[in-house]
Amino acid sequence: MSNRFGPLAAEALQRRRGGESALLWLAQRVAGWGRVYVVEALCHHWMYASRGWLLRHACDGDFLNGYFAGRVATAAHLREAITGAEVDDDLIDHTGRLLKIMANCGGMGMTLEHYPPAPIVLAAHAAHLARQVPTVNRYVNAAIIADHLTDKPSRRCGCTTEQRDRIVQQYLTVLDRPDWCDTVRAGLDSTNDYFVWFAGNVATRLHLRAFADLKGGDDR
């Protein structure tokens, strides 16, 4: 229903006094195109409570998140949050999702190239990642971010060449740690189509140790 009625609900609630609370309630329950319109509305009319939700839960993994990821990063002041004193796992994980989307959403929404704090937020995310417990999702998201950064000219990532290279090395240092390698080996199904794509593309381009070892040695 949200695909058809989401835009109308978002518009109506923006006009209503106290509509921000209702928008947040709806955002927590809507998907697809409806989520796009409701999250965009929240970005225009957010309260303190909705800022926390935007920074941690706005992106649900749908391809359509590309339309609003940049707006969330800007409106919810992601740079201030990820470099602040109160940084939790949900914020770090969602920041990774935002960066992964913004690295490759050209034609949909704001990309890293047009996000001025990109090098600061990328470096902060990589630094926080190093202190997190390894999980498959964290590994894959970080690897895809690093792959996008190395695949494009640095200016397309909003960075200088030096900044880009330093950030990529930050990510690779974490991804090649033994505990992270063990986690992704144990968590990814080698018979799954996604594993085959990831191993043959992202892991190969980055020379990720976990996958090089699976083939019989580290080819770095």
Q: Are 150 and 201 in contact (CB under 8 A)?
A: no
Residue 217 pLDDT: 45
pLDDT tens-digit map of 71-101: 999 999 999 999 999 899 999 999 999 999 9
Beta carbons within 8 Å of 132's beta carbon, 6+ residues apart: 89, 92, 138
Tell me the pLDDT band of 4, cut-offs 50, 70 and 90.
confident
Span 28-33, average pLDDT = 91
- pTM here is 0.91
Range with the lowest mean pLDDT among 10-24, 111-125, 134-148? 10-24
Residue 11 pLDDT: 77
At residue 193, does pLDDT exceed 70? yes
At residue 21, does pLDDT exceed 90? no
Span 16-32, average pLDDT = 86
At residue 49, does pLDDT exceed 90? no
CA distance 76 to 72: 6
- 219 by Cβ neighbours in 10 Å (0-12 / 13-18 / 19+) ranks as exposed
Give the DSSP letter string of 24-88: HHHHTT--HHHHHHHHHHHHHS--HHHHHHHHHHS--S-GGGGGTHHHHHHHTTHHHHHTSS---
